[in-house]
Structure 1
Amino acid sequence: MKKLRNKELADRQSDALGAKAALLDAYRAAKTAAEPFRIARQAERVSQVEAREARRVERERLKVEESTRHEREVAEKQAAIEAAAKVETEARMTAENARISRVVEDEAARKAERDRRYANRKAKQA
């Protein structure tokens, strides 16, 4: 036959308190046993964070170098374009001045030829 046991409230409360104490003791023991692993993981995480930060700083440095190099190239190209435009403008002005001087010389030569013909005609009439 089964033995029926009738527990009182106080017995049930003391059993629950004992179970809670046993669980807490087991948790503390597991925590103490895992402490070296936790410290090692934490050190590994710190080293990962430091490595990540170093990589970020390197990326930023490379980005700044690339930016300054790009700006320098753009400035050099702009200076070359401006110099070429200046040379082209000067060449255009020189060509324009040469053309104007040729036109003036041709006009002077035509007037001299016309005056010579006029003088010859007058000389024949006189």
Structure 2
Amino acid sequence: MKGAISKEVCQKRLKGIDDALYAIGGKWRLKIIIALREGYTRFNEIQRTIGISAKMLSIELKELELNGFLKREVHTGPPVVVEYKLTEYSDTLEGVLQALSDWGENHREKIRRERS
């Protein structure tokens, strides 16, 4: 076990994790951000790409917008087109996304090795 940390440091880390999970936690939010990074900007494109229900996607898009990760753009010319675009603030997640992706791949391989 690593060296003990003070209660205050532990509490601060736990609060930071709580804040992060509130903003990007759950099954869908990071997947939506990744889909947007890959160029899927319309509601139906995002829905098909990640396999989410329309109701849940609508809820999650609103939450991501409230947390400043994306913005909703409405183009009024016929036809009306609604697109979702990532904000500059979403770029702050790059390290988190890469670390999670790397960790997930390593974990999957570890489990495969142990089951073989």
Length-normalised TM-score, structure 2: 0.24
Structure (1/2) with the larger strand percentage: 2
Is the radius of gyration larger for structure 1 or structure 2? 1
Length-normalised TM-score, structure 1: 0.23
User: Relative contact order, CA 8 A, sep 6+: which one is greater?
Assistant: 2
